Amino acid sequence: MAADVLAELRSLEIETPSWGYGDSGTRFGVFRWPGAARTAHERIADAALVHRLTGACPSVAIHVPWDRVDDWDELAGFAREQGVRIGAVNPNLFQDQEYRLGSLCNPDASVRRRALEHCLECIEIAERTGSTLLSLWLPDGTNYAGQDDLRGRFRRLQQGLAELYDALQPGMRLLLEYKFFEPAFYSTDVPDWGMSALLCRKLGPQAQVLVDTGHHPLATNVEQIVALLLEEGLLGGFHFNSRKYADDDLIVGAADPFELFRIMVEIAAARADPATSETAQSIAFMVDQSHNVEGKIEAMIQSVVNIQSAYAKALLVDRERLAEAQRAGDVLGANRAFVDAYETDVRALLGELREELGVQPDPFAAYRAGGYAERLAAERAASA
């Protein structure tokens, strides 16, 4: 059993986001952190450090234009030198002033064209850097009833996505994210997993749904959404974070670690099922979080460890015991099969995994003992 669990854990690759290594905050302000990454190269270097400490994060997602450089080939080469690769490319459709009324759904055709050209550029960047993923979140929506034609916006969205989809290269995937509100507060053009799934179905097999764990109303059963998307072959990836109230982008598993475990139970079950294994094996496990008051690298390590821990516990669920209880209608017996796995201490198991991967058993201790935070703060302050 332990050998099987270790084998599965070795195959779990977690992608960290470049934007998670720089200073970030809330709409009220940003608290600066000593040594936070300032450039694309520094962000990739920090992601590579997390990979060296955990052995589980061989790719880093980039955000354009936040990570824009003059030479994408050079950036990809730098990443390889650091021991990582470029992962998902994320277009930015929410900052420019022209996007005040939306991007792909904007009533102005010239703004829609600009947004689409930016997304097409990101596909070219993905090709240049060796990425196979375009991760798309649309902030489009309206604030007031009557502000725009809702059906018209849907038509514009479909037209834009269809052109974008047609530009995908073979082997590349478009992961379409959803969010039920914010920054728009009356209507959101891709508000839930159903809308994302509908659009992906219309586009074709290279389009799949991206689940951000912070993008749901309170009390939403996220693992049920995950299960259904797996069953339909539509689950493409995750943006893992944690939320207490809305899209808080906290450290993964911080607010509700049991929810993270329940999501991982569905993934582990789908990977073991021949009917859903192909979809489950291709899931992009990506972190998406905003560090407001804490250190960047150590917080990222915490998220990675929490994901590993939840998945390890999910692999320890006694499937035969669970299935037997379910068939017998033993409600509490089935629940105990879940809870017993969740309450298992997997720290020693993860330590064994890291030793096999050639890293220190405790990445937190290794990070602090290595003096990385102090050294980066000194080096980057000197070069400021």
DSSP E strand boundaries for 98-186: 133-136, 141-142, 173-177
Give the residues across from 239 on adjacent strands: 212, 286
Question: pLDDT tens digits for 288-302?
Answer: 998 889 999 999 999
> Could you tell me the two tokens for 155?
């038509």
List the domain range (segments joined by +) for residue 200: 2-382
Instruction: For tokens 């079950």, name the residue.
Output: 269
Residues in the chain: 384
Is the model more confident about 23 or about 262?
262
Which 8-state DSSP code applies to residue 168?
Answer: P
Query: Under DSSP, is residue 107 helix (H, G, I), strand (E, B) or coil?
Result: coil
At 269, the amino acid letter reads A
Tell me the pairing of strands 59-64 and 14-17.
parallel
At 99, the amino acid letter reads Y
pLDDT tier for residue 209 given thresholds of 50, 70 and 90: very high
Question: How far is CA 35 from each of CA 32, 56, 381, rounded to the nearest angstrom?
Answer: 9, 23, 7
Structurally, the chain folds into a number of domains equal to 1
Q: Are 179 and 140 in contact (CB under 8 A)?
A: no
Q: Are 241 and 213 in contact (CB under 8 A)?
A: yes
Residues 6 or more apart whose Cβ sits within 8 Å of residue 185: 141, 143
Question: pLDDT tens digits for 301-356?
Answer: 999 999 999 999 999 999 999 999 999 999 999 999 999 999 999 999 999 999 99
* pLDDT average, residue stretch 224-235: 98
Q: Is the pLDDT of residue 86 over 90?
A: yes
Residue 302 region by backbone torsions, left for phi larger than 0, else alpha for psi between -120 and 50, else beta: alpha
pLDDT tier for residue 129 given thresholds of 50, 70 and 90: very high
* pLDDT average, residue stretch 234-259: 96
Q: What is the CATH number of the domain that holds 128?
A: 3.20.20.150
Question: pLDDT tens digits for 60-71?
Answer: 999 999 999 999
Give the residues across from 227 on adjacent strands: none
